[in-house]
Chains A and B, each alone.
Chain A
Amino acid sequence: MADSQTAPLEPITAADGTPLKKKLAQALFRSRVRAVSLVVPLFAFVMASFVIPIFALMWQGVYNDRFSSHMPNLTEQLTMWDGLTEPNEIMYGALVADLTTARANRTIGRVATRVNQEYPGTRSLFTSTARKAKKLKPPFKESVIKTNKKWDNIEVWQAMKITSQDLTPGFYATALDGRYTVDQGFVRQDENRQIYVKLFWRTMLISATVMGLCLLLGYPVAYLLATLPLRTSNLLMIMVLLPFWTSLLVRTTAWIAILQSQGVINDLMVYIGITADDARFSLIYNMTGTIIAMTHILLPFMILPLYSVMKTIPPSYMRAARSLGATPTMAFIKVYMPQTIPGIGAGGLLVFILAIGYYITPALVGGQDGQLISNMIAYHMQKSLNWSLAAALGGILLAGVLVLYWAYDKVIGIDNMKLG
């Protein structure tokens, strides 16, 4: 033993004299190159169509150079300004110079929109002053304020200072019902404009409810699927998958027909006499409608992972538990259910994450209190065109999902997840 420890270790060599480790690395490298080259097309596609756009959009959530790129002179002055003292003549001069160029380049609209996001009610201030900027004479402070008194308001200048910073936490602040100010840092948004935090919570609540309902409804179905004889379970499987093959829009509008106040369910209840004709239930265009329709649409995403897990649990476990003296109920709870946890976890996570980003269904059947944060993101993407705010909202949503994923990994373990 002592000998082998003290003797210098000769590297093992292959038949041609090269060290074995190097030879092995070469062989592995070749197979690795082959494997990688198979993935390259998909990888390139995903990068180009998914990863890069997502990062570009995320970047927009914290980076916006509309103001600085179109108002370079003023940006320079605003950077030096402390944000509290009265704006000086040089700053007004830079303002007039930049407004004149922006007007000539027809970029004044973009600048005005950007500042308006930060300080509402100032869009026309910029466009109208820009029209007159060419004719303004020094001293600029006096002549600018003469065109519009608002230029004397320091808050306008503070808003410009905020927007002149390319890298800004302002959009995230807005997305969390806050405001980023020059003098006080982060402050709460005015109470009558606070909406996003509430929507985030509502999104979480609805997603959790949908997940719970899917689990409640899907578990027995998955159990039947996994335990019934093949012919029956195949039929049942088709029934589970049938809605899956129908367009999302069709299914959602079908719910409108069923749930509306003159719809199938309400007519039936009035007919049976459960409710009076003038006191029909409002089942749609509210949170109830959103939850019902989303539960139905997301149900297969719960059933399929559950089924794939249950399929692998041999019936002998239940038999063993019963032969050991457990009642059927106890055997089910103590022996069967714990083994389906990977399926519950996978289905739950899948449904929750899908629900969090759900957009079409709440938009169609959500009414006012069934709207989710995704509808707000769509609004800022399509209507208000405040993409940076949409990106910030999306970024927070993404962060929320990642936190959940992390928590899931901690509690259950991601290796335990089984999707199919």
Chain B
Amino acid sequence: MVQANDPFVSFKGVQKSYDGETLVVKNLNLDIASGEFLTMLGPSGSGKTTCLMMLAGFETATHGDIELGGRPINNIPPHKRGIGMVFQNYALFPHMTVGENLAFPLKVRNMPTAEVEDKVRAVLDMVQMLAFIDRKPAQLSGGQQQRIALARALVFNPELVLMDEPLGALDKQLREHMQYEIKHIHENLGVTVVYVTHDQSEALTMSNRIAVFDDGIIQQLADPVTLYEKPENAFVAQFIGENNQLHGTVQSVSKNIATVKLDAGDVVKALAVNVGAVGSRTTLSVRPERCVVTAKKSAGTSSLDARIEELIYLGDHIRCRMSVAGDDQFIVKVPNTSGQLGLEIGALSQIGWKNDDCRALDFKEPI
């Protein structure tokens, strides 16, 4: 019996190699709870799609176990896993109508015709596509095809639905609209969703939890807020949202606060999250919206000299590119409040931040 607390999907020490020389997935351990919306996020080649394909059964794990509902599924072929899947190109069968596409998973399960009809209509109604039941996929727009693909993955009531970059081919507006729609369907049906994307805003919008992949390893697994606010390493900090990174050497650490000497010579304080011993190299990471221009020095803050290089007016805020500690790509977002518009290119200023907002992470060579 699956207990409420037991994970619904579980990767245990999973490794995958295609050529026998390099590992695409290195020792993956991941538990997904029933009803969760988990996103695998990462750049291309990070191993996220391979993980999804192993879960779906189209790739076999080189090592380790994958469990579904407490049962190892390594040796179960894809068609017996009962997992719904939405593909990147939708993979709607071009020779069948929308209705036939949706009926396909039900017919292969030998469901009575009348029941098939009812289910197809119900699920089409859910995605508001009932009027298109007799169309061929080629006669539908990208967004409509997307809905049908989603409906087809849900029509046979799978407990787990996998989505492989399903919104990648849509334009921005439609993509955002579909994000909400998928999120609502997930909330209404309570199915478990494993979603693969390389788009971080998509991941932040939809997920309960996000697993950030890089180099075949989960770099961080956390809910969107934690992931954004408290990245645990330099890759995640860089990949999720915008970030300024400065490099330096740890001089001392006390009470979670590290004193770091930057390569340009300035000394700042930062929250010690992921740093080595005194003398080791570190990457400081601070969000553009957490920096303050013309800051007054006070307890618990750090400040640095800065020169305004470029100003971009974006309405609600001003994007300000500055030279700070030898880095001329330092971005600060200045809120468009009254009295802030005195910024000028070339002006010298001070920028500052709370020590807690600057996270000292593992060292990563600047690209």
Determine whether the beta carbon of B89 is less than 8 Å from that of A322. Answer: no
Task: Using CB atoms, name the residue of chain B closest to A320.
Answer: B91
Given A314-B91, A324-B105, A326-B79, 7 additional A-B pairs, CB 8 A: A319-B87, A320-B85, A320-B93, A324-B108, A325-B105, A326-B104, A341-B95
Interface positions, chain A 303-324, Cβ under 8 Å from B, are 314, 316-317, 319-324
> In whole angstroms, what is the CA distance A317 to B58 when docked?
12
Residues on A with C-beta less than 8 A from B89 are 314, 316
Judged by a CB distance under 8 angstroms, whether B84 is at the interface is yes
Task: Type the 1/0 row for B40-60, where 1 means its CB is closer than 8 Å to any CB of A.
Answer: 000000000000000011100
Residues on A with C-beta less than 8 A from B156 are 324-325
> In whole angstroms, what is the CA distance A323 to B85 when docked?
6
Determine whether the beta carbon of A323 is less than 8 Å from that of B108. Answer: no
Residues on A with C-beta less than 8 A from B88 are 316
Judged by a CB distance under 8 angstroms, whether B83 is at the interface is yes
Interface positions, chain A 127-169, Cβ under 8 Å from B, are none
Judged by a CB distance under 8 angstroms, whether B109 is at the interface is yes
Judged by a CB distance under 8 angstroms, whether B7 is at the interface is no
B78 to chain A, nearest CB (A): 4
Pick the interface stretch among A55-63, A260-268, A330-338: A330-338
B163 to chain A, nearest CB (A): 11
Judged by a CB distance under 8 angstroms, whether B77 is at the interface is yes
A310 to chain B, nearest CB (A): 14
Instruction: Select which of B83, B93, B95, B109 is within 8 A of A323 by beta carbon.
Output: B83
Interface positions, chain B 63-122, Cβ under 8 Å from A, are 77-85, 87-89, 91, 93-95, 104-105, 108-109
Residues on B with C-beta less than 8 A from A335 are 93
> In whole angstroms, what is the CA distance A403 to B25 when docked?
59
On whether A323 and B78 interact (CB within 8 A), knowing A314-B89, A317-B93, A338-B95, the answer reads: yes
Residues on A with C-beta less than 8 A from B78 are 319, 322-323
On whether A317 and B91 interact (CB within 8 A), knowing A323-B85, A324-B156, the answer reads: yes
Residues on B with C-beta less than 8 A from A322 are 57-58, 77-79
Task: Type the 1/0 row for B236-261, where 1 means its CB is closer than 8 Å to any CB of A.
Answer: 00000000000000000000000000
> In whole angstroms, what is the CA distance A331 to B57 when docked?
15
Task: Type the 1/0 row for A327-353, where 1 means its CB is closer than 8 Å to any CB of B.
Answer: 110110011001101000000000000
B92 to chain A, nearest CB (A): 8
Judged by a CB distance under 8 angstroms, whether B152 is at the interface is yes
Residues on A with C-beta less than 8 A from B104 are 321, 324, 326, 334
On whether A319 and B105 interact (CB within 8 A), knowing A314-B91, A324-B152, A335-B93, the answer reads: no
> In whole angstroms, what is the CA distance A316 to B152 when docked?
14
Task: Using CB atoms, name the residue of chain B closest to A336.
Answer: B93
Residues on B with C-beta less than 8 A from A327 are 79, 108
B196 to chain A, nearest CB (A): 14
Task: Using CB atoms, name the residue of chain B closest to A331.
Answer: B79
Q: Using a Cβ cutoff of 8 Å, how many contacts connect chains A and B?
A: 70
Number of residues of chain A lying within 8 A (CB) of chain B: 20
Number of residues of chain B lying within 8 A (CB) of chain A: 27
Instruction: Select which of A314, A325, A334, A339 is within 8 A of B79 by beta carbon.
Output: A325
Task: Using CB atoms, name the residue of chain B closest to A324.
Answer: B105
A415 to chain B, nearest CB (A): 13
For this complex, 11 residue pairs linking A to B, each with C-beta atoms less than 8 Å apart, are: A319-B78, A320-B93, A321-B93, A322-B78, A323-B84, A323-B85, A324-B79, A325-B79, A325-B80, A334-B108, A339-B95
Residues on A with C-beta less than 8 A from B83 are 323
> In whole angstroms, what is the CA distance A325 to B158 when docked?
11
> In whole angstroms, what is the CA distance A317 to B101 when docked?
11
Residues on A with C-beta less than 8 A from B77 are 322, 328
B49 to chain A, nearest CB (A): 12
Task: Using CB atoms, name the residue of chain A closest to B149.
Answer: A320
A196 to chain B, nearest CB (A): 42
Residues on B with C-beta less than 8 A from A323 are 56-57, 78-79, 81, 83-85, 153, 162
A330 to chain B, nearest CB (A): 6
Task: Type the 1/0 row for A218-258, where 1 means its CB is closer than 8 Å to any CB of B.
Answer: 00000000000000000000000000000000000000000
> In whole angstroms, what is the CA distance A275 to B95 when docked?
49
Task: Using CB atoms, name the residue of chain B closest to A318.
Answer: B91
B53 to chain A, nearest CB (A): 9
> In whole angstroms, what is the CA distance A331 to B91 when docked?
13
> In whole angstroms, what is the CA distance A326 to B103 when docked?
12
B138 to chain A, nearest CB (A): 12
> In whole angstroms, what is the CA distance A338 to B87 when docked?
20
Residues on A with C-beta less than 8 A from B109 are 325
Residues on A with C-beta less than 8 A from B58 are 319, 322
A243 to chain B, nearest CB (A): 33
Residues on B with C-beta less than 8 A from A319 are 56, 58, 78, 85, 87, 91
> In whole angstroms, what is the CA distance A110 to B109 when docked?
76
Task: Using CB atoms, name the residue of chain A closest to B152.
Answer: A324
B271 to chain A, nearest CB (A): 44
Residues on B with C-beta less than 8 A from A321 are 93, 104
Closest 8 interchain pairs by CB? Answer: A324-B105, A320-B91, A323-B85, A316-B91, A322-B78, A338-B95, A326-B108, A322-B79
> In whole angstroms, what is the CA distance A317 to B82 when docked?
17
> In whole angstroms, what is the CA distance A335 to B108 when docked?
12
Task: Using CB atoms, name the residue of chain A closest to B155.
Answer: A324
Determine whether the beta carbon of B87 is less than 8 Å from that of A325. Answer: no
Task: Using CB atoms, name the residue of chain B closest to A316.
Answer: B91
> In whole angstroms, what is the CA distance A374 to B162 when docked?
59
> In whole angstroms, what is the CA distance A327 to B78 when docked?
9
Residues on A with C-beta less than 8 A from B105 are 324-326
> In whole angstroms, what is the CA distance A319 to B105 when docked?
13
